[in-house]
Amino acid sequence: MPMPRAVYTFPRGFLWGTATAAHQVEGGNANNTWAAWEQQPGKIANGDTAGRACEWWQGRWREDFDRAAEAGQNAHRLSVEWSRIQPTPDRWDEDALEHYRQMVRGLIQRGMTPIVTLHHFTDPLWLAERGGWENPETPGLFAVFVAKVVEALRAYVTRWCTINEPNVYTALGYVAGVFPPGKQDIRIAMKVAERLAQGHAAAYEAIHRVQPEAQVGLTVYYRPMRPARPWFLPDRVLARVEGRWFNDYFAVAAASGRRLLPVGSRRDRRLGPALDWFGLNYYTTELVAFAFRRPDFARRFPPKGAPLSEHGELALTPEGLFAGIRWAQRFGVPILVTENGVEDSTDALRPRYLVEHIHQVWRAVNFNWRVQGYLHWTLVDNFEWQRGWTWRYGLWALDVATQRRIKRPSADLYAAICRSNALDTETVARYAPAALDALLPGVAAV
């Protein structure tokens, strides 16, 4: 019996693309917190540094944008590097702004909508010397920088993302201590979170002042935390409390101008409302179990039975993306999946990961939830922060030494989806047969 065919079509104008971040792809950044962090022994896997990265600053963005456009992508999310544009507090680098202007124009010329992130994990060294986001002046300084960028790029860009994953920036930089500045102090983390939320709202205002028609959002790393033993109250409480701080804090602040407190919340006009769209970054789901002896009272592990990524840390849990979109609905603005992907140098899991997550997006679209697009992380292997070059997220592999790009099968699979604006089981059978069962339950196995 021939296998039935199904075509899961997306709405016209759906945005398909990939996402990148300045420090991870540009190369040659020397004036920001990450460049300094990479010089400290033991901070980055393998002793790696971003180094030349993907050489975008030297012009290789052109060939990579060509790749994306040829693969049917109609959008791209990139970030601008604050330390290039404002190398010292009293100086603007107009050449750097011109460089970014060329890049966003390059996207438009190739038929891709630019989505520009204004802060993606790095800070200028001069800002860090003044206390970074612990300093109450930083939200205002950020807004000044943002206004300058918007002024420069407004002819080409209307969709802005103020801050990428302020929750990850806070958790890894101020609680886990694996991002700069490497602190482990909950009290400072709470302050930093508040300043980042203020920074988002200040940037929101600044952008709308310069460009009234702008669409301004922020992205949050959404990580569902499920109680490992649902019958055990401490696991349930832990999952709830962690999810509230990690997932909800910034979204609630931006959407409603309320600051979450240990119990309840407080209205704070400096935080919002300040949200035109919401960026959802989703990678995986984790189980949490209450563990008295751990400093954070938690043990974390992937759901049992879920296939794992190359280094065993990301579980294939596509239904978490559906849950994330449902969760994001409550903020009342259109949603964009601004990142989703898996580290996988051999492309063993990525095709299945891609198909099953995009299928979940399709499900959400069919509930009439306001999902406007899907951006995969990422186009070409890039510098993966504390993992250095050991984790590979690209649709294209990168040989860092020669800068050669090598296409992974997932690139063709994703191109077929982007070009047809649909997920077709014939394409899936070809590239990711393991995903067929998720699309046609019970049928594929017959």
SS3 for 360-419 is: HHHHHHHCCCCEEEEEECCCECCCCHHHCCCCCCCCEEEECCCCEEEECHHHHHHHHHHH
Site string for ligand BGC, 322-351 (x = CB under 6 A): -----------------x------------
Choose which of 15, 21, 214, 254 interacts with ligand BGC (CB under 6 A).
21
Least distance to ligand BGC from the beta carbon of 393, Å?
6
Q: Which residue number, 181 or 227, has a Cβ lying nearer to ligand BGC?
A: 181
Q: Which residue number, 259 or 376, has a Cβ lying nearer to ligand BGC?
A: 376
Q: Which residue number, 289 or 325, has a Cβ lying nearer to ligand BGC?
A: 325
Restricting to residues 249-288, which ones interact with ligand BGC according to CB under 6 A? Answer: 281
Q: Is 242 in the site for ligand BGC (CB under 6 A)?
A: no
Q: Which residue number, 210 or 397, has a Cβ lying nearer to ligand BGC?
A: 397
Least distance to ligand BGC from the beta carbon of 345, Å?
14
Restricting to residues 31-90, which ones interact with ligand BGC according to CB under 6 A? Answer: none
Q: Which residue number, 337 or 416, has a Cβ lying nearer to ligand BGC?
A: 337
Q: Which residue number, 10 or 169, has a Cβ lying nearer to ligand BGC?
A: 169
Least distance to ligand BGC from the beta carbon of 121, Å?
6
Q: Which residue number, 163 or 203, has a Cβ lying nearer to ligand BGC?
A: 163
Least distance to ligand BGC from the beta carbon of 229, Å?
28
Least distance to ligand BGC from the beta carbon of 165, Å?
5
Number of residues near ligand BGC (by CB under 6 A): 10
Least distance to ligand BGC from the beta carbon of 316, Å?
15
Q: Which residue number, 147 or 171, has a Cβ lying nearer to ligand BGC?
A: 171
Least distance to ligand BGC from the beta carbon of 384, Å?
5
Restricting to residues 182-221, which ones interact with ligand BGC according to CB under 6 A? Answer: 221
Closest-by-Cβ residue to ligand BGC is 21
- Rounded to an integer, what distance in angstroms lies between the CA atom of residue 35 and that of residue 236? 40
Q: Which residue number, 227 or 279, has a Cβ lying nearer to ligand BGC?
A: 279
CA distances from residue 255 to 215, 381, 392, 435 in whole angstroms, order as listed: 14, 33, 34, 36
Site string for ligand BGC, 139-168 (x = CB under 6 A): -------------------------xx--x
SS3 for the chain is: CCCCCCEEECCCCCEEEEECCHHHHCCCCCCEHHHHHHHCCCCCHHHCCCCCCCCHHHHHHHHHHHHHHHCCCCEEEEECCHHHHCCECCECCHHHHHHHHHHHHHHHHCCCEEEEECCCCCCEHHHHHCCHHHCCCHHHHHHHHHHHHHHHHCCCCCEEEEEECHHHHHHHHHHCCCCCCCCCCHHHHHHHHHHHHHHHHHHHHHHHHHCCCCEEEEEEECCCEEECCCCCHHHHHHHHHHHHHHHHHHHHHHHHCEEECCCCEEECCCCCCCCCEEEEECCCCEEEEECCCCCCCEEEECCCCCCECCCCCCECCCHHHHHHHHHHHCCCCCEEEEECCCCCCCCCCHHHHHHHHHHHHHHHHHCCCCEEEEEECCCECCCCHHHCCCCCCCCEEEECCCCEEEECHHHHHHHHHHHHCEEEHHHHHHHCHHHHHHHCCCCCCC
Choose which of 25, 362, 384, 435 interacts with ligand BGC (CB under 6 A).
384
Choose which of 377, 389, 396, 414 interacts with ligand BGC (CB under 6 A).
377
Least distance to ligand BGC from the beta carbon of 405, Å?
18
Q: Which residue number, 21 or 152, has a Cβ lying nearer to ligand BGC?
A: 21
Site string for ligand BGC, 389-418 (x = CB under 6 A): ----x-------------------------
Chain residues in the site for ligand BGC (CB under 6 A): 21, 164-165, 168, 221, 281, 339, 377, 384, 393
